[in-house]
Amino acid sequence: MSQLLTLSRAAHLTGVSRAVLQKRVREGELTSFDGMVSTDDLLSLFPDTCLEDTGAFEKMVSIRDDAFAKRLRERVLPTQEVLSQRLFEQGQEMAELRRHLTRYHSLIDGLRKHIDTTPALSATEIARLLDEGLAVVLASPAPVPAQKNLDAVDAMLKVMSSHVTVKPSGREFYVDGPETLLKASLRAGLSPNYGCGNGNCGMCKARVVDGEVRQVANSDYVLTGPEKSQGYMLMCSCTAVSSNVVLEVLEAGTAEDIPEQTVMTKVRSVDRVSDEVIRLHLQTPRTNRLRFLAGQRATLGLASSGQGNDSHGEYSIASCPCDDRNLLFHIPRLDERRPASADFSARLFGGQIKPGQELSVWGPWGDFVLARENGIVVRPLVFAAIDTGFAPIASLIEHALAVDTEESMSLLWASATEGGLYLANQARAWAEALDGFSYQPVVSPAPVEALVAALLQLPNLAASDVYLAGPVELIESAKAALLAAGLQPERLHSQGL
Ligand code: FES
């Protein structure tokens, strides 16, 4: 019997993104019933859905690696392959039983209706109807293998991951294995309220409305008696236990909801991605991460405070908030527009800032963030970068991918030289790997004019949210040209660097 699934569960099950499914719905290949899709329709579109394709096996391996000590694993548990196979077979058996029960339920239901509408039925007649119905049930054809397979994978995924719905936004995410609710929600692109990430501050307090959670990490913060009795827990130290959990969570709606922070980080790597740009990778301590929204900026400093010291620079964060420990920045060699950061940049390019060194990060700043309505991206996304404007744009794109937006994305990256597109491989990789994502490099001695001309060629520009980032004077010219061409100001979001 066909079941109805939410779009996000269908995506989880088939291993494709919600955006792909949404596109199929728009193109009429998949029917949506109030946001739900049927397993029959899914199977006809993705007949090869199987355990390997969903990545569930790999996920299970890593989950189990995290969860059990090596010694216990070797002595007590079967091998990963055996465990996977057994779970899969168990899922198939459960699916078979469910279908069998459904057939008996239909038989009894039909018989009951028959008795209601024909009160004079004799016991012999009822027995005959029952025998006939049973014969039909027992002769029912075996389910098609694909249906069996899909049901089995669904059953297995329910064992391996929990589905969490967040109130009041209605957003959803999955918790795999023993990961905490905070980690899973960040990975899914949510912006819950949190601070230390380590059970000390109490800022990630959330209320369990339905379902069961369990503490998996130590916490020093003590919830009060009334808080406990109302169902509050700490997202950074609890995981979901039941297959469906509903939480009431305080989420950041705008950049103003994120507090200013100073975090001491360590330099993980200094990569010269072109003659003019260095990609700086910083890592925060586990106990003190940087909370920010995609597209925001931060001040990097060589002294401990990051505030008012001699060598510092303000740069856009180029990574996704879904990985709040690993922060990336694209630092240009010479930034004449920002003389204050010239010393920082010179030290970095001069090799004086090395892996292992401490840097302070102070921020986050700015409101160049994804426009959402009720937490959801509602319009197609057009990203336009000039030179190192790619940094905040990369953060926004990674965040949009994490939230699995159903809207299409176009990236245009302009520079006066090929070398200015210093991470073109990354842009091309997105375009190759993702449905609904297009990438257009724009190399021209007049990058602003060329970028604006390319943007105006986009068929859906007027219906899109446009995100524009790059050197401030170039961005101001591009903005003026786009507004003069009729783009609505509220659809244009810009970040001058
Ligand atoms: S984030 Fe500080 S206690 Fe959870």
- Structural domain boundaries of the chain? 4-157, 168-248, 258-365, 381-496
The per-residue pLDDT for 262 is 93
Cβ atoms < 10 Å from Cβ of 473: 11
What is the distance in A from the centroid of ligand 1 to the CA of 2?
42
Residue 199 CA: nearest ligand 1 atom is 3
CA–CA dist 417, 78 (Å, integer):
57
Q: 237 CA to middle of ligand 1, Å?
A: 8
pLDDT at 383: 97
Spell out a b/e string for 194-229, using b for 16 or more CB atoms within 10 Å of the CB, else e.
bbbbbbbbbbbbbebeebebeeebebebeeeeeeee
For residue 372, the CA-to-ligand 1 centroid distance in Å is 26
Angle at CA 462, nearest 5°, toward 460 and 466? Answer: 90
State yes or no: pLDDT of 462 exceeds 50.
Answer: yes
Q: Do the bridges between strand 381-386 and strand 465-470 make them parallel or antiparallel, or are there none, so unpaired? A: parallel
Give the strands of the sheet with 358-365, arranged side by side: 312-316, 297-301, 358-365, 261-272, 277-283, 326-332
- 264 sits in which H/E element: strand 261-272
> Going by CA atoms, what residue is nearest to atom 1 of ligand 1?
197
Relative to the CA of 235, which ligand 1 atom is closest? 4
Residue to probe by mutation, ligand 1, list 236, 284, 287, 289, most atoms within 8 Å of CB: 236
Q: Write down the pLDDT at residue 165.
A: 94
Distance 332 CA to ligand 1 centre (A): 35
Query: Looking at the predicted structure, is the pLDDT value of residue 326 above 90?
Result: yes
Please state, for a pLDDT cut of 70, what percent of the chain lies above it. 82
381-496 has the same fold as 258-365: no
> 288: CA distance to ligand 1 center in Å?
10
**Per-residue pLDDT, 188:** 87
User: Is the pLDDT higher at 434 or at 143?
Assistant: 434
The span from the CA of 124 to the CA of 142, in Å, is 30
Q: Which fold has domain 381-496?
A: Rossmann fold (3.40.50)
Contact assessment for residue 306 and residue 300, using Cβ atoms and an 8 Å cutoff: yes
Per-residue pLDDT for 304 more than 60?
Answer: no
Q: Which of 183, 191, 203 to mutate to test the pocket of ligand 1 (most atoms within 8 A of CB)?
A: 203
Alpha-carbon distance values, 247 to 10, 164, 182, 233, 313 (Å): 21, 7, 12, 10, 39
Grouping H, G, I as helix, E, B as strand and the rest as coil, residue 491 is helix
Structure letter (DSSP) for residue 467 = E
The Å distance, Cα 434 to ligand 1 centre, comes to 34
- Smallest Cα–Cα separation from 385: which of 377, 376, 395? 395
pLDDT at residue 478 above 70? yes
CATH number of the structural domain 168-248: 3.10.20.30
CA 252 – CA 274 distance, rounded (Å): 36
**Would you mind telling me the total number of residues written for the chain in this entry?**
497
Non-local (6+) Cβ contacts of 4 within 8 A are: 33, 36, 37, 38, 39
Nearest to 62 by CA among 86, 80, 88, 85: 80
pLDDT in tens, 106-157: 888 888 888 888 877 788 888 888 888 888 777 776 555 555 566 666 666 6
The rounded Å distance from CA 201 to ligand 1 centre is: 5
C-beta neighbour count of 276 within 10 angstroms: 17
Residues contacting ligand 1 via CB (< 6 Å): 194-197, 199-204, 221, 234, 236
The C-alpha atoms of residue 430 and residue 121 are separated, in whole angstroms, by 67
- pLDDT digits 0-9 by tens, 11-55: 777 777 777 787 788 778 888 776 778 777 877 787 765 433 444
Out of 234, 261, 284, mutate this one to test ligand 1's pocket (max ligand atoms within 8 Å of CB): namely: 234
Positive/negative CA dihedral, 65, 67, 71, 72: negative
More confident residue, 62 or 40: 40
Q: Report residue 61's pLDDT band, with 50, 70 and 90 as the boundaries.
A: very low
Q: How far is the CA of 221 from the centre of ligand 1 (A)?
A: 8
Calpha distance 269→355 (Å, rounded): 5
Tokens representing residue 85 in the block: 């196979």
| Neighbouring C-beta atoms of residue 257, cutoff 10 Å | 13
368 vs 19, higher pLDDT: 368
Indicate yes or no: pTM above 0.85.
no
Mutate to test the pocket of ligand 1, among 180, 194, 291 (most ligand atoms within 8 A of CB): 194
Span from the CA of 313 to the centroid of ligand 1 (angstroms): 29
- Taking only the tens place, the pLDDT of each residue in 400-433 is 888 777 678 999 999 999 999 999 999 999 998 8
Q: Are 317 and 299 in contact (CB under 8 A)?
A: no
- DSSP bridge pairs for 477: none
Using an 8 Å Cβ cutoff, are 468 and 384 in contact? yes
**How high is the pLDDT of residue 81?**
59
More confident residue, 21 or 308: 21
Q: Which residue has the higher pLDDT, 494 or 306?
A: 494
How far is CA 471 from its chain centroid? Answer: 29
Structure token digits, residue 48:
């090869």
DSSP state of 486: T
Distance (Å, whole) CA 282 – CA 329: 8
Q: How many angstroms separate the CA atoms of 305 and 285, rounded?
A: 16
Q: Give residue 203 CA to ligand 1 midpoint distance, Å.
A: 5
**307 token code pair:** 């505030």
List Cα–Cα distances, 432 to 400, 407, 413, 421, 426, in angstroms. Answer: 17, 17, 16, 17, 10
Closest atom of ligand 1 relative to the 236 alpha carbon: 4
Which atom of ligand 1 lies nearest, measured to the CA of 205? 4
C-alpha 183 – ligand 1 centre gap (Å): 11
Residue 49 DSSP one-character state: -
Least confident stretch, 140-144, 248-252, 275-279, 341-345: 140-144
Question: Where do the H-state alpha helices sit in 15-79?
Answer: 18-26, 39-45, 51-54, 56-67, 70-75
CA of 380: how far to CAs of 354, 383, 385, 433, 438, in Å?
40, 10, 17, 18, 12
Q: In testing the pocket of ligand 1, which one of 181, 186, 190, 198 has its CB within 8 Å of the most ligand atoms?
A: 198
Indicate which atom in ligand 1 lies nearest the CA of residue 194: 1
More confident residue, 229 or 254: 229
Q: Report which ligand 1 atom has the smallest distance to the Cα of 237.
A: 4
- Give strand pairing partners of 124: none
Residue found under tokens 């596109």: 23
Largest Cα–Cα separation, the chain: 98
CA of 193 to the centre of ligand 1 (A): 9
Nearest ligand 1 atom to the CA of 195 is 1
CATH number of 258-365: 2.40.30.10
